[in-house]
Amino acid sequence: MKKSIFGALVCAMLMVVVGCCACRSAQKNAKPLKGTEWHLIQLGGAEVDMPLNVFNIAIAEDNSLAGVGACNRLLGQVVLGDKQAISFGQVGTTMMLCPDNAELEAKFVEVLGGITHYDIDVDKLILMQDGVIKAILKANPVVAEVK
């Protein structure tokens, strides 16, 4: 009798865990990684409150990266791997002197260079380095999709 109760509990727990994982990975209305413009809302655990026209990135179908920091254009190539692995590699920037938020822009570019994995939670792109959340970006409501 004890074995059947224990077995039933284990099965029920597995169904809950598998069900939660399935829901998480197949969320309805989740924004696609590619073709969405993502706006920075958190960097290194600190909230970022910037206008929607700065601190954005977008990944095109050909895995090219385009975006803008505080005032400089960002560009590069993204490498995608198994299990939501991602690498931004060396992110290039234009060299304009940004009067405001230059340090934040430098930190953003630095963080992108170290990212190893990502997750998407409906309209949020979560960027991680070795399991630690380094940045969170939100789908930019101003620009529906980028080609």
Per-residue model confidence (pLDDT) at position 89:
86
Dihedral-angle region of residue 96 (phi above 0 means left; psi in -120 to 50 means alpha; beta otherwise)? beta
Choice among 62-66, 105-109, 140-144 with the minimum mean pLDDT? 140-144
pLDDT for 27 equals 66
pLDDT in tens, 28-87: 789 999 999 999 999 999 999 999 999 999 999 999 999 999 999 999 999 999 999 999
Strand, helix or coil at 124? strand
Compute φ and ψ for 56, nearest 5 degrees.
Answer: -125, 150
Q: Is the pLDDT of residue 23 over 90?
A: no
pTM for this predicted structure: 0.78
> How are beta strands 92-93 and 73-77 bridged, if at all?
antiparallel
Q: The tokens of 10 are what?
A: 């284990």
Distance from first CA to last CA of the chain, Å, rounded?
Answer: 60
